[in-house]
Structure 1
Amino acid sequence: MSANNQGKGPDRLSQVVADARRHMKDREKTYREKAMKMYPHVCGRCAREFSGKQLKELTVHHRDHNHDNNPPDGSNWELLCIYCHDNEHGRLEVAEAYDGSSSSTETTDSDFFHNPFAALAGMLKDKDKGK
């Protein structure tokens, strides 16, 4: 690699990704540690209790889905097991997918049916007139 290309390319990208992951783990460590001290080690959805090596299966869920919103009182956090946490985020994705796709509950026939022969009667009348 020439001197002009330093700081670019795969090595630079790897460094940026590594730095981002390190920053995320450092940030997560602080709010995770606080949440684990504040709340009982129980999943907020399925009520499964965790201890010892199983604690790694307990995650901190941000209620507003904003990982930068970490108030010191922990009001934006809840502890969820990895399964309930995945389910919660999956439900959000489904809700977002349907949000706005159908703003009205009323439907019309044209929403569900297509009649390829709708103009056939008129065409047959025109053909009969030509005889």
Structure 2
Amino acid sequence: MSSKTIDQSKLDRIVAQARRDAAARETGYRERALKMYPWVCGRCAREFTRSNLQELTVHHRNHDHDFNPSDGSNWELLCVYCHDNEHSRHIDYTGESASSAESRTESATSNPFAGLKDLLKR
């Protein structure tokens, strides 16, 4: 007999949490898109299986990740390479990425070097 005993209640909690996490993932747009569309890149037509499915991404056609209609009309499955290419093309077209638009801030209203010229003259 083994010197270590299995804590059955801890094991039950771990399994229950794994099932809750799986159920939460099932409601995500990626999982819904993978159930809705064939596992094929919409650009290069590369086919995917369970072993390489992590390389298949969901692209939002209008680049708005918060717009996820239940019919999947804003999604297309793209391999990671075609997805990167699509976003690069979007940046080239618009001149900015989604992340740079979000991080844009207003201009400063004060000038920390306002009196520097006078200080340097002294």
TM-score band by shorter chain is 0.5 to 0.7
Return closer, same or farther for 1:59/1:37 CA change in 2, 3 Å cut-off: same
Unaligned runs of 5+ in 1: 1-25, 99-131
Q: Of 36, 57, 60, which aligns to 2:58?
A: 60
User: 1:59: Cα distance to partner?
Assistant: 0.1
Larger helix percent: 1
User: 1:29: Cα distance to partner?
Assistant: 6.5
TM-score by length of 1: 0.52
Point out 4+ residue stretches in structure 1 off by more than 4 angstroms. Answer: 26-29
1:34 corresponding residue in structure 2: 32
Aligned residues: 73
- Once the two structures are superposed, the pairs formed by residues 1-131 of structure 1 within 5 Å of their partners are 30-97=28-95
Unaligned runs of 5+ in 2: 1-23, 97-122
User: 1:33: Cα distance to partner?
Assistant: 0.5
Would the aligned equivalents of 2:26 and 2:32 in 1 still touch at CA under 8 Å? no
For 2:72 and 2:43, the matched residues in 1 are separated by 17
User: 1:97: Cα distance to partner?
Assistant: 2.3
Return closer, same or farther for 1:50/1:75 CA change in 2, 3 Å cut-off: same
For 1:54 and 1:96, the matched residues in 2 are separated by 32
Would the aligned equivalents of 2:57 and 2:83 in 1 still touch at CA under 8 Å? yes
Q: CA RMSD in A?
A: 2.0
Deviation readout 1:25-44 (Å, 9 max, x if unpaired): x7896100100000000000
Letter in 2 for 1:36: L
Return closer, same or farther for 1:30/1:62 CA change in 2, 3 Å cut-off: same
User: 1:66: Cα distance to partner?
Assistant: 0.3
For 1:96 and 1:28, the matched residues in 2 are separated by 33
